[in-house]
Chains A and B, each alone.
Chain A
Amino acid sequence: MIYKPLLTLVFLILSIGISQAQYTVTGNVSDERTGETLIGASLLIKGTTSGTITDLDGNFTLPIPNSNGVELVISSIGYNSITLKVSPSQTTLNITLKQDATNLDEVVVTGLASSVKRSNLANAVSTVSARDLTGTTTIQTADGALYGKVAGATIRSNGGAPGGGMSIQLRGISSLTGASQPLIIVDGVYINNSFQSTGRAAVSGAGGSNQDDGSNRLADLNPADIENIEVLKGPSAAAIYGTRANAGVIIITTKRGVEGRTTVSLSQDVGFANPLNLLGVDNWSEEKINFFFPEQTRAQELERFRAAQASNTFIDYEDYFYNNQATLLNTRINISGGDDKTKFFVSGNMTSEDGTIKRTGFDRYSIRANIDHKIAPWIKLGVSSNYINSSTDRGFTGNQNNSGASIGYSIAYTPNYYDLRRNADGTYPTNPYFSENPVAVTDFGENNSSVNRFIQAFTLDIDILKTDKHFLKAQIAGGLDFLNNATEVYLPEFLQFQSSQANPGDIFVGRQESLNTNFQAALVYNWNVGRVNMNSQAGMVRLDFQNHSLFNRGRGLVPGQKNLKQAAVQEINSEFESEVQEAGIFLQQEMNFEDKIIGTLGIRWDKSSLNGNPNEFFAFPRASMAVNIANFDFWNSSAITLLKPRIAYGETAGPVPFGSTYTPLGGTNIGGLLGSTVATSIGNTAIIPETASELEFGVDVGLFNNRFSLEATYYIKNTQNNIQNLNLAPSTGVNTTPSNEAELSNKGVELGLSGTILEKSNIRWFSRVLFWKNTIEMTRLGIPTYLSGGFGSGLGTFLYAEGYSPTTIVGTPADPSVPGGFTVWGDAQPDFNLSFSNSISLYKGIELSFLIDWRKGGSNINLTSFLNDGGGTTNGWFDDDNGDGIPNGRQREPEPYNNAGRWIQDASFVKVREIGLYYTIPRETITQWFGGTVQGIKVGSSANNAFMFTKYPGYDPETSTFGAQAVQNNVDIAPYPTSRRIFFHLTLDF
């Protein structure tokens, strides 16, 4: 019994050996429009695995192993594939390929060990190519470069500080707690994208570390290294990723070497940044002073005002702190090449970008080596190594309490007639209006995060057997992400607030270390049943995550010293360790009936040490089907060249937060003794992961030889067992226990329409419109209605009630008709998003592209206005729009005045995200100038966040003082203003 299949295998292998060339096809491949030859285009004999690629001049030679006519499939990245017949009588081919407007031929990674052609895909998977991602302008972080490029992705910037800080929500909300960010996989490595603590909120008194305004660590990845990003938006596409895929999966693939001549590419960007939007501050008058200040201080205020008038020294502090020009420098070098055995891609990147607030900025140094090597013809090793060193200085903005360590608060409370600038003797005036002199904090405060990171991936592909009709291969892959983040927040002893403390001078030193490792092994068997091509996969996944953080604080510092030992009060502020182990098994079967009907069935089982029962497997099935109607013989419309209805279903889960099962005794120190205190949260030893199921269906249409394409998708994503804290009666001395009760429903539409509007010899205009919309409803809460997030009902908070979206913003005055008892003032969820991107190629070598991003609806809780109103500095504060004698700043609409509704404001915007204009100098000219040394020169100019149109009365409608959050991600408190970035670019290829 055992021998029979083995003998079959042997026979099949032997049959390869006897194949011999019967005739040879030669020819050339070029671009239809420009006539330029295509290097590396692939030619494949249809139905087999043999083929070749074109050389540097676009030429190819392909031996055909029999004497019959065969079909060749010719493809090249970015071009539509074509199929041509050849026969012993037709052996010379001059092939032209058309640029692919719709990317139908690109290969999309859909499984853990498989991929599928976009035209056969049953899900709306978005792919963002390097060209789309970084082709127009230079963006600091990879997530920032995704704005408007992925239908279904709501991307939010937490603020304008350099070095990132973005959150991505794919298809609404999957989790009620935490950040709920997509799983990010870079070259197969499950990377750490957490928002790491910096300690700023502890020093400034803002509160928890979610108010640190830290970067998410995707910021470390050099966007220019990325070949493409695939976004699996929901469970139907991401089911095979199991437990960590509830919020979607973002698969990042970096560039790799190609066979051929070694190329060296050197790019330099020089740019500058300015604030995108400033609000202005209100002027003062004697009348306003008399109104604003109490009797006791009026005389002094008037005296200060008159002195300022006499010397004409009024200071617009917003302008002073925020309106600075920052220098942006980026240098990149790529070296790539290889032969048929070994290919390599080596890159280096130096980013040095200042912020618009003094002494802030982001520096990143990255080195990458991606190497592929064929150990034997049947065994291929790929390694990707990336070392990153980044240093981020984000300054002092955002929330604070009492410490004054936030510029925005000082701007809000300091009138423009009081001069806070440095005295001639080097000291700083004491700020009588707030706890701190922000000029001194900006000049001397430090808030730095320095990351050393190593990301290493490997893959091993082993062809176990390979025939014309079958192949069996094993794929072993794995990797690690080691990250060390050293943070330092420092406020020197002579600052106003520090000198008001018993122990002046504050240093907060953090060390965070994380190690993610993953290992995956799979067997892939490709075979045929009649006319159906079958691809079967089976494999396992192992994931381990370790984190350790240690924060120390020193107060009462020796002047000028930052070493913890130079502090009068030395404190271990916190230490935290976590370890997570997960394992999974997956099976997947793909069936393809002649590219006409494509079906997939899959299942994954996962277990995790985070769960109440670490040895319980949870199953995540998936099924999908796509029908390419236009590929059937009966279809003969020349207008509609692709018509593909598709449907997909899948299930995923979101992990249980670490520690949910524990009921700890905390450590506490009092009077020199160590005590144990009973925690205020009880662990839930029966906790299970929160799960989501999604049904997605849609249709893809290609028109006029796929010159235009339409992708329309509707999804229903339901989540179950959503984890949230059940509030216990606090009179029992415990406040919460995690529960698995809630259920959410997200429903949405995604539309993409793209096409080549003009295609002539001297102009090619490609345009794309994406539209997406999501609605959320809490279908089951399971626990009593509650309010959470923000700063309470007086300033706007969120309603968690059945039948409402958890993004609903409520606040005073009371409204008994609404569950929770307060008036509904807004919803954080946008009504819809729409993006419009264009790229226009003119004549030879000129390219113009731009991207417009429109977000309609969605409200923010604008507490920056609240602060400015409190300090009398809001632009127009003393005006009286309704003429009732009460100035605007003391009477904000809606009526009845001065309730929470005044701070909940529409955050709609239109942003021109990217504009780029490039010129590629013609090859002939370069040859004239440099002979053969230089292969290509490209020059250009671009802008990022070029323009913003909004009625929102804040710096940027995109802001989140609490960082990335599933729900409360729209609270605006004195953020770092967003920058407009303008660049000049030069790229040289050797």
Chain B
Amino acid sequence: MFHIYCPHCCEYREEEEFHASGQAHIPRPLDPDACTDQEWGEYMYFRKNPRGIHHELWVHAAGCRKFFNITRDTQTYEIKEVYKIGEQPSVVANSDQ
């Protein structure tokens, strides 16, 4: 059970109020019709599954219903930071630097 800081409610809440919506920072292509099948396939289906630092999109479903991002260590389950949509993470994996 995670304890998650909602950047909109500005306090910690229990995981049961939230749910995860997959990897963060997967923007919809601006011109989907111009995408090749491969490009579209990458957007649709290909996601990271790192051991360590990962950026995830979550929603405060039972609270303010706002989406936001979490940087999480998938090995220790530590939440390194939360940040709003449109912002960039400050904690990144060495391989992403």
Whether both chains belong to one complex is answered with no
* Residues in chain B within 8 A of chain A (CB atoms): none
* Residues in chain A within 8 A of chain B (CB atoms): none
